[in-house]
Amino acid sequence: MRLVSVVGARPQFIKLAPVSRALRRTHQEVIVHTGQHYDDGLSGTFFRELSIPAPDYTLGIGSGSHGAQTGHMLGAIEEVLVLEQPDGVIVYGDTNTTLAGALAAVKLHIPVAHVEAGLRSFNRAMPEEINRIVADHVASRLFCPTEEARRHLADEGIVDGVEVVGDVMYDLLLQVRTQITERASDLLPALEVAPAAYVLATIHRAANTDDPASLRRIVHALGDLSMPVVFPIHPRTRHAMGQHEIVPSKAIRLVDTVGYLDMLTLEQHALRVVTDSGGVQKEAFILGVPCVTLREDTEWPETVAANWNILAGSSPTAIADAIHRPAPVAPRGHPFGAGDAAIRIAQALDRWP
C-alpha cells in the first residue's frame, strides 16, 4: 500500500520513528513535514537521532494563529495528496498538523488512520483537545494507546475501526533505553548536576506561555526550590519570558531545547519532572520518575491514577508540595502495551482500507 504520514511537531516525529520503520517493511511510505516545528532543535535533530527518513515533502508552514496555520497546512497537504494519490493517510497525536492532515484527506475521500486515538483531557479550551476529537471523528482506523482511550471513543459512539495497540512512544523508549543510560556520564557533568539531585522542567503550552501571571508563578516556584532546575526552554517560552520581563533565579539553568535521547536521559536521572507536556508526563511515568504536571487536566489519567503524576496547575504552593512529596510506592503497572504497537499498526494496515 502507498501511505502518507503527515507530521510537523516534535512529539509527532517521536511517534513516527517506530511506525515508519514498521510500515516500510511491507508498505510504501511518503512523509510530509508541515513545518509546524521548524527550529532544528525541535525538528531536524529528531530525524537525525532517530534515523527517520528525510521528508519527501517539507511544506514550511511555520508559525501563525491556529486558524491561519491550520488553513495554510490544509491547502498545502491537499496539493500533496492530489499529486501522490495514496491509499491512506496516517496522522499522529493532536497538533494543528494532525487536524489539517485528517481534514485534507477526508475531503478527498482518502481513508485516515489516527495514531494515538481516543485521548481526552475534557478541556475544550485546549486546541489539542479539539484537534484530537475532530481527527477521531473523521478517521476510519483508530489506534488507541490504552483501554481508557478506547472507552472514550466508545462513549462518543466510535466503535468501528478501533483497536488498542499500545503506545508507540513506549515502543521507542524501550528501543533506546541502553543509549540513554550511556549518555548520562557525559550529559549530567556538563550541566553540573548529579543524578536525583535536580528537577527537570519544561513549559510550552499556550495556557502557560501566553498568560504572563501563570508563567511568572511557575518560574518563581521553580526558582524557590533548594536544588538546581534544568530547564530546556522552548522558543515560545523564551520569547514570552523576555516579553514579560520574567527573570529566572540562578537556580534555574536555562538550556536550549535538547534532542530526544538527551531529554530522556535528563528525565531518567531527575529527582522530579515538572512539565505541561503530555508526552513528557508519559515518559516520566515509564521511566519511574514522579511527575508534576503544570495543568489542571491530563490526557494520561493512568499516570495520575497510579499516583505517579500530580496535577498542580500554576499554583506555587501546589507545585512545591508536589515536588517535595515522597516518591510513590504504588506500582506503576504497564498501561501502555507490550512495546509492539508500531508493528501492530503496520500489520493492521495490511487489511486497510
Q: Same structural domain for residues 152 and 13?
A: yes
Residue 329 located in a structural domain = no
> Is the separation of the CB atoms in 149 and 300 below 8 Å?
no
Residue 332 located in a structural domain = no
Residue 331 located in a structural domain = no
Please, what sign has the CA dihedral across residues 146, 152, 155, 157? negative
Residue 299: the pLDDT is 96
Q: Same structural domain for residues 219 and 299?
A: yes
Q: Same structural domain for residues 308 and 205?
A: yes
Residue 42 located in a structural domain = yes
User: Which stretches of the chain are DSSP H helices?
Assistant: 10-23, 44-49, 66-84, 96-107, 127-138, 147-155, 168-190, 206-209, 212-223, 235-243, 260-269, 278-287, 301-305, 316-324, 341-348
CATH number at residue 83: 3.40.50.2000
Q: Same structural domain for residues 160 and 175?
A: no
Give pLDDT < 70 ranges for the chain.
37-43
Q: Same structural domain for residues 344 and 205?
A: no
Residue 78: the pLDDT is 98
33, 152, 204, 234: the catalytic one is 204
Q: Same structural domain for residues 29 and 158?
A: yes
Q: Same structural domain for residues 194 and 96?
A: no
Which grid coordinates belong to 340?
509492539
Residue 199: the pLDDT is 98
Residue 215 located in a structural domain = yes
Residue 120 located in a structural domain = yes
Q: Which residues contact 42 (CB under 8 A, 6 or more apart)?
A: 9, 10, 234, 235, 257
> Is the separation of the CB atoms in 204 and 127 below 8 Å?
no
Q: Which residues contact 291 (CB under 8 A, 6 or more apart)?
A: 272, 273, 274, 275, 280, 281, 284, 285, 303, 308, 309, 310
Q: Cis omega (within 30 of 0) on the bond before 353?
A: yes
Q: Same structural domain for residues 141 and 214?
A: no
The tens digit of pLDDT for each residue in 292-325 reads 999 999 999 999 999 999 999 999 999 999 999 9
> Is the separation of the CB atoms in 162 and 129 below 8 Å?
no
Please choose, from the candidates 322, 317, 313, 327, the residue with its C-alpha nearest in 3D space to the C-alpha of residue 221. 317
Q: Same structural domain for residues 146 and 191?
A: no
Q: Same structural domain for residues 200 and 123?
A: no
The residue type of 293 is: T
Q: Same structural domain for residues 14 and 155?
A: yes
Q: How many domains does the chain have?
A: 2
For β-strands 199-202 and 229-233, DSSP reports them as: parallel
Q: Same structural domain for residues 205 and 284?
A: yes
- The residue segments making up the domain with residue 198 are 171-324
Q: Exposed/middle/buried for 247, CB within 10 Å: 0-12, 13-18, 19+?
A: exposed
Residue 38: the pLDDT is 60
Residue 152 located in a structural domain = yes
Show the CA angle centred on residue 349, arms to residues 13 and 96, nearest 5°: 35
Catalytic annotation present for 204:
yes
Please, what sign has the CA dihedral across residues 328, 333, 335, 337? positive
Residue 330 located in a structural domain = no
Which grid coordinates belong to 164?
488498542
Residue 114 β-bridge partners: 91, 142
The tens digit of pLDDT for each residue in 68-107 reads 999 999 999 999 999 999 999 999 999 999 999 999 999 9
Residue 66: the pLDDT is 84
Q: What is the CA radius of gyration of the chain?
A: 20
